[in-house]
Amino acid sequence: MIASIAIEQNSYWKEQEASTKKVLGQYFTGESIADHMASMVTTYGGITKTIKILDAGAGAGILSSALAMRCLSMGYKKVHAVLYELDPNIIGQLKFNMERLSNVFIENGGLFTFDIRNEDFVLARPDKLKERFHFSSINPPYFKYNTKTSPYAKAAADIYKGDPNIYVSFLAIVTKCLAPNGQVVAIIPRSFANGLYFKGFRNYLTDTTSIERIHIFRTRDRAFKELKVLQENVIVKCVKEPQVDTITVTSSLGEGDLPQSDINHYPCSLIIDRSNSHSIIRIPESLNESQVLAKVESWETTFENAGYYISTGRIVDFRSRKLLTKEISNESIPLYRMQNVRAFTTKWTGEHKKDIRYLVTKDSEKNLIPNQNYLFIKRFSSKDEKRRLVAGVYSKRTDGSPYVAVENHLNYIGKVSGLGKCEAYGLAGLLNSTFMDIYFRCISGNTQVNATEVRLLKLPARDKIIKIGESLCRRNDLNQDTVDSVVNKVLSLEG
């Protein structure tokens, strides 16, 4: 039955207009993922005669069907499902599939009933109707909305702070609808785990539920392979109870090898970072990554406690067109952009086709920073770069200009007391190392490097950073092997 629903919904999805799919944020779940999500649900930890299922975005009903069948296999003979679906064109198919499911229950001596609601789940707010559910398996829509004009803006403001994306509104309201010990399994983008805009939601989720299990796909395009979705997704299981001490993290290449997933169990403290107000959720893909994560967490200090600061470049190209020029003059200075930064080096020659200068005027000075030593970090990974972190040393220019112009696709790291050359190279060595690249992938599923994530980094003692820099700044062979060798030796990471 699940297989036939998967075929039906994929045919429907392919016939839909792209504009309609975008508005609905509609991506249907495949058969193997639906079954796997259902298998993550375990016996309800309470007393009930009828199991109540909530589906916040039912589509053709594949998730509810898989979950209901899971209930049947666990011995629950009476199941009632409430299914929300906004798309009126798929309601008929949904109803037909629920009727088929009802017949399956009857054949097995059970009773399955359902209530289909052709409503917008977020705006309907079923949690305010005091309805409570035991299980939920969801694949919420994914899209950003205008925080000033959209009806979704502040729709869940009484639950968590912020307006990051529609999918977290779905998950937040579902968790509000859970009965004590109720379980929700959701396949969602990994962005919720670390982004600054998701801070309010993370705090709500970790305060009100227990994250018991996380599944991560090691390849970005494999969770929704047939729909060609290039989004890093995870499957998360939460239970409406206090946080358990151990969190299970499983991983697979994609949906095809879900049954052969690697399984590891970690202390909650390693996965959920409660050392600050951000509650970042770290997701190691392997035991090796978890060991890297644990090592970094044991370091002596933090980025901010070490006296460093990080900001994003202040100059936005399209807002500064009148101030951009190719002409060399006393009134213009080089504008540093992503193409000017490589590992350990920051180079502006004017010969690159994208090299451009920035006019210094009385009004534009506010967009500039003082001319001193910095570390520039690319905010985005380019297609041909395998690394998340690319940090280049910027040395104070000697052309007499008191300013540096930095475009907003770069972050810059400085120090109030001044960043020395060896210390800058030490930081660059650390951030450009394979060790830190592995660590950063544990805390961030984005190709974007946010200043907030760097600001929250744990760091080794400052004398070790300087020692790394003293070794690296004297070398001309700064290849990856050399960098890793120096960093591993100074920080005792070898073996």
Give the Å distances, CA to CA, from 323 to 326, 369, 410, 431.
10, 16, 18, 33
Contact 452, 196 (CB under 8 A): yes
Domain count, the chain: 2
The answer to whether 70 and 38 have CB atoms below 8 angstroms apart is yes
Residues 248 and 336 both lie in one domain:
no
Tokens at 236, concatenated: 């998360």
Contacts of residues 304-309 at CB distance under 8 Å and 24 or more positions apart, as own/partner, are 304/455, 306/459, 306/462, 306/465, 307/415, 307/416, 307/417, 308/413, 308/414, 308/415, 308/419, 308/427, 309/413, 309/414, 309/415, 309/416
Residues 329 and 204 in one domain: no
By the 8 A CB rule, do 152 and 145 touch? yes
DSSP line for 192-216? GGT-GGGHHHHHHHHHHSEEEEEEE
Q: Which amino acid is at 378?
A: K
**Per the domain annotation, does 303 fall within a domain?**
no
- Judge contact between 352 and 340, C-beta under 8 A: yes
Residues 120 and 232 in one domain: yes
In a domain, residue 461? The reply is yes
180 and 271 fall within a common domain? yes
- Domain containing 348: what range? 308-490
- Which pLDDT score, from 0 to 100, does residue 10 have? 65
The pTM of the full predicted model, rounded to 2 decimals, is 0.88
Residue 393 placed within a domain = yes
Q: Do 185 and 334 fall within a single domain?
A: no
119 and 258 belong to one structural domain: yes
pLDDT (tens place) for every residue of the chain, 495 residues total: 777 776 676 666 566 666 654 555 556 778 899 999 999 999 999 899 999 999 999 999 999 999 999 999 999 999 999 999 999 999 999 999 999 999 999 999 999 999 999 999 999 999 999 889 999 999 999 889 999 999 999 999 999 999 989 999 999 999 999 999 999 999 999 999 988 899 999 999 999 999 999 999 987 554 444 444 446 899 999 999 999 999 999 999 888 889 889 999 999 999 999 988 999 999 999 999 999 999 999 998 999 999 999 999 999 998 999 999 999 998 999 999 999 999 999 999 999 999 999 999 999 999 999 999 999 999 986 544 577 899 999 999 888 889 999 999 999 999 989 999 999 999 999 999 999 999 998 988 777 888 888 998 999 999 999 999 999 988 887 899 999 999 999 999 875
- The contacts of residue 263 (CB under 8 Å, 6+ apart) are 248, 249, 250
To 5 degrees, how large is the angle CA 332–CA 338–CA 340?
60
Query: What kind and span of H or E run contains 34?
Result: helix 31-39
Domain-embedded: residue 181: yes
- Phi-psi bin for 25: left (phi > 0), alpha (psi -120 to 50), beta? left
In one letter, which amino acid is 401? Answer: S
Residues 242, 351 within the same domain: no
One domain for residues 195 and 50 = yes
Tell me, yes or no, whether 380 and 238 share the same domain: no
Strands 356-359 and 332-336: antiparallel
pLDDT in tens, 208-264: 999 999 999 987 554 444 444 446 899 999 999 999 999 999 999 888 889 889 999
pLDDT the model gives residue 6 = 67
Residue pLDDT, tens place only, 2-44? 777 766 766 665 666 666 545 555 567 788 999 999 999 999 9
Query: E-strand spans in 56-189?
Result: 78-84, 111-117, 133-138, 178-189
Half-sphere exposure at residue 471, Cβ-oriented, CA atoms within 13 angstroms: 20
pLDDT value, residue 85:
95
Q: What is the pLDDT of residue 380?
A: 82
Domain co-membership, 206 together with 79: yes
Structure confidence at residue 226 (pLDDT): 45
Same domain, 330 and 265: no
Residue 343 within a domain: yes
Which residue is it, tokens 């975008």? 22
The residue whose two tokens read 């090592």 is 295
CATH of the domain at 165: 3.40.50.12420
Same domain assignment for residues 402 and 256? no
Reading the block at residue 169, the tokens are 């509104």
CATH code where residue 359 lies: 3.90.220
Give the C-alpha separation, 389 to 432, whole Å.
6
291 assigned to some structural domain: no
